Structure formats: structure tokens, C-alpha cells
């Protein structure tokens, strides 16, 4: 079965720090890589859908890069704020099974003010 690995499992940073975490996925049969943010008691929210090797996407202070050849994606948060505290999930679609997304276990980010 497909493994999507995320590291670290959790991260505690101070307000204003910049941080990054990793999603690793199989590099064969790549179609896309999704990033979601999941705040406590809210719905998971899509951040990015990345499809091209070398792709870099940005949304405010959050950006993501993609390396499909080596099978990893980095999510960066610049100048972390307490409202960035959430679980960040990456997901890999298995297109041979329809639109089946396989999720990583997530990175829990806590930003202290």
C-alpha cells in the first residue's frame, strides 16, 4: 500500500519564527500532491494542489515546493503567527482508483505568542 510520510510529527515554534516541514511520497506514477490545513474544531482546508516538478506555490506567508523525481514536498511558513497553529496534512491521489486521496498523518504546528 502507498505510504505518505510527514515529518516532523509535531512542531512548537515562537511567534515570528519561520518553519518548514516535509511530505514524502512515492515518486513513481505521480499525478499531484495536495496540502491541507486543519485547525482544531474546523474543517480541513485545501492550501495547495501541486502537479509539476519544481512547482512552487504561495498563499500569503505559506509556500510549498515540489520535487516529483525524489518524491518530496516542503511546506514553509514565514513569520509564524498563533493563528497558523493547525495540523498540516499532505495527500497523494491514486488515480488508478478514481480520485482516492491517501493522507499522511500530518504535522501538528503550535505557535506560541
**Residues within the interface to other proteins (CB under 8 A):** 4, 32, 34, 36, 41-46, 49, 89, 93, 97-106
- CB-wise, 3 or 81, nearer to other proteins? 3
Shortest Å, Cβ 13 to other proteins: 20
Are 22 and 36 within 8 A, CB to CB? no
Select 70 or 96, whichever has its Cβ closest to other proteins.
Answer: 96
Task: Name residue 38's beta-bridge partners.
Answer: 87
Q: Which is nearer to other proteins, 72 or 93 (CB)?
A: 93
Shortest reach from residue 60's CB to other proteins, in Å: 17
Residues 79, 65: Cα–Cα separation, whole Å: 18
- Angle among Cα 106, 65, 20 to the nearest 5 degrees reads 50
Residue 49 Cβ, how far from other proteins at the closest point, in Å?
Answer: 5
CB of 16 to other proteins, least distance (A): 28
Cα-to-chain-centroid distance, residue 22 = 7
Name every residue whose Cβ is closer than 8 Å to that of residue 112 and which is 6 or more positions away in sequence: 12, 13, 14, 15, 82
Amino acid at each position: 500500500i502507498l505510504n505518505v510520510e510527514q515529518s516532523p510529527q509535531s512542531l512548537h515554534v515562537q511567534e515570528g519564527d519561520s518553519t518548514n516541514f516535509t511530505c514524502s511520497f512515492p515518486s513513481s506514477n505521480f499525478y499531484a500532491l495536495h496540502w491541507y490545513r486543519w485547525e482544531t474544531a474546523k474543517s480541513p482546508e485545501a492550501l495547495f494542489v501541486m502537479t509539476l516538478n519544481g512547482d512552487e506555490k504561495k498563499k500569503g506567508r505559506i509556500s510549498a515546493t515540489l520535487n516529483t523525481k525524489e518524491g518530496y514536498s516542503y511546506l514553509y511558513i514565514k513569520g509564524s503567527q498563533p493563528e497558523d497553529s493547525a495540523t498540516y496534512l499532505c495527500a497523494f491521489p491514486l488515480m488508478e482508483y478514481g480520485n482516492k486521496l491517501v493522507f499522511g498523518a500530518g504535522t501538528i504546528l503550535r505557535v506560541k505568542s
